[in-house]
């Protein structure tokens, strides 16, 4: 099969028409850069107030300032507030939830997006790596959901970031793959229990998306060729292409969808 645009990333804005999210309040972890920052931009543009929480406070503040400046003339845009969090710290996540309530009166939407992507051959994974990966990628999602649910009302929605790595093995990424498999199943567990509170819990499982996390693929031609070979659509995804599925899961379009892991991966989970 010939590939028309090998390695090209399609970042043109997508036309997205979902029920109104205006006036809602969202918390996004890891919103300082990458997909989290893109989610913050998309939500603020649609009139959602956003609390962006990141380990890197300086980066988070810069992103919040940029989005605020971009939206300065946009009628009805939501505010973007920056705060620090280490998602491993349950109390810190609770404080983020309380900050959102203090600033905006409620929390309707929560995206557990922060994550790390470490590498090591399985035989040599250091204790510190497996502990940090499970603490950030898995415990961080659990504590985020707990903090979210403690302040949410029925009708609210949580979306976790899983990965195609939850169902496909990637050499040298055993810690990451197993953490994302845990995120996927944790999402199903949380959906069942938080369904009692009328809170939906879903996950997105992206494939290769063009962010800092995957920049090494772009910079390594053999790795890029291998990656493209495993993607039926023959290109990496752009953060923009994760936004539409995210808005769908957050919105009333998905009001009867919970415990679902939505693959947004160009088909790579099948290869
Ligand atoms: N980029 C991809 O191809 C891809 C694919 C599948 C899944 N994902 C997942 O999507 C999510 C976002 O990925 P991205 O590519 O935008 O990543 P990224 O590395 O660009 O951004 C991650 C953000 O999380 C923050 N963070 C890291 N550890 C944290 C902690 N302990 N507490 C709070 N914040 C912390 C970082 O400071 C950073 O701002 C991650 O969960 C990632 O595993 C990414």
Is residue 240 one of the residues assigned to a domain?
yes
220 in any annotated domain: yes
Closest residue by CA, ligand 1 atom 23: 30
Pocket lining: 144 vs ligand 1, CB cutoff 6 Å: no
**CATH code, 76:** 3.40.50.720
Q: How confident is the model at residue 18 (pLDDT cuts 50, 70, 90)?
A: confident
Strands of the sheet with 200-206, listed across from one edge: 80-84, 49-54, 25-29, 109-112, 157-161, 200-206, 261-264
Is pLDDT above 70 for 226? yes
Q: Is residue 1 part of a domain?
A: no
Domain count, the chain: 1
Domain holding 61, by residue range, is 25-270
Percent share of the chain, pLDDT over 90: 89
pLDDT of residue 3: 45
**pLDDT bracket for residue 1 (50, 70, 90):** very low
Q: What is the mean pLDDT of residues 217-236?
A: 93
List the beta strands (DSSP E) in the chain.
25-29, 49-54, 80-84, 109-112, 157-161, 200-206, 261-264
Any bridge partners for residue 208, and if so which?
none
Decide if 13 is inside a domain: no
Is 143 part of the annotated catalytic residue set?
Answer: no
Q: Is the beta carbon of 227 within 6 A of some atom in ligand 1? A: no
Residue 17 has pLDDT above 80, yes or no: no
Mean per-residue pLDDT for 197-223? 94
Q: CA-CA distances (angstroms) from residue 191 to 81, 194, 243?
A: 28, 5, 21
Distance CA 156, CA 111 (A): 11
Domain-located, residue 9: no
- Between the alpha carbon of residue 257 and those of residues 176, 191, 236, the distances in Å are 26, 10, 27
- What pLDDT is stored for residue 177 in this prediction? 98
pLDDT band at 2 (very low <50, low <70, confident <90, very high): very low
The answer to whether residue 7 scores a pLDDT higher than 70 is no
Choose the residue to mutate in 27, 29, 34 for probing ligand 1, maximizing ligand atoms within 8 Å of C-beta. Answer: 34
pLDDT at 103: 98
Tell me the two tokens of residue 210. Answer: 């063009």
């Amino acid at each position: 099969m010939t590939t028309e645009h090998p390695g090209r990333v399609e970042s043109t804005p997508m036309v997205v028409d979902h029920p109104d999210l205006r006036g809602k309040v969202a918390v996004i972890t890891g919103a300082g850069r990458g997909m989290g920052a893109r989610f913050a931009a998309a939500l603020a543009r649609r009139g959602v107030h956003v609390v962006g929480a990141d380990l890197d406070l300086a980066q988070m503040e810069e992103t919040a300032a940029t989005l605020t400046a971009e939206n300065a003339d946009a009628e009805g845009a939501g505010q973007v507030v920056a705060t620090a969090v280490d998602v491993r710290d349950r109390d810190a996540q609770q404080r983020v939830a309380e900050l959102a309530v203090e600033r905006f009166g409620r929390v309707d939407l929560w995206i557990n997006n922060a994550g790390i992507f470490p590498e090591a051959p399985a035989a040599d994974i250091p204790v510190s790596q497996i502990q940090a990966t499970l603490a950030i990628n898995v415990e961080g999602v659990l504590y985020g959901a707990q903090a979210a649910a403690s302040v949410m009302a029925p009708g609210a929605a949580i979306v976790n970031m899983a990965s195609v790595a939850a169902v496909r093995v990637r050499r040298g990424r055993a810690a990451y793959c197993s953490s994302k498999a845990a995120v996927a199943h944790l999402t199903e567990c949380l959906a069942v229990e938080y369904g009692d509170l009328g809170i939906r819990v879903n996950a997105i499982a992206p494939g290769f998306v063009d962010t800092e996390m995957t920049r090494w693929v772009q910079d390594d031609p053999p790795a890029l060729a291998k990656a493209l070979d495993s993607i039926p659509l023959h290109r990496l995804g752009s953060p923009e292409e994760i936004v539409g599925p995210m808005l769908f899961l957050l919105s009333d379009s998905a009001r009867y969808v919970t415990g679902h892991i939505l693959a947004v991966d160009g088909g790579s989970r099948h290869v």
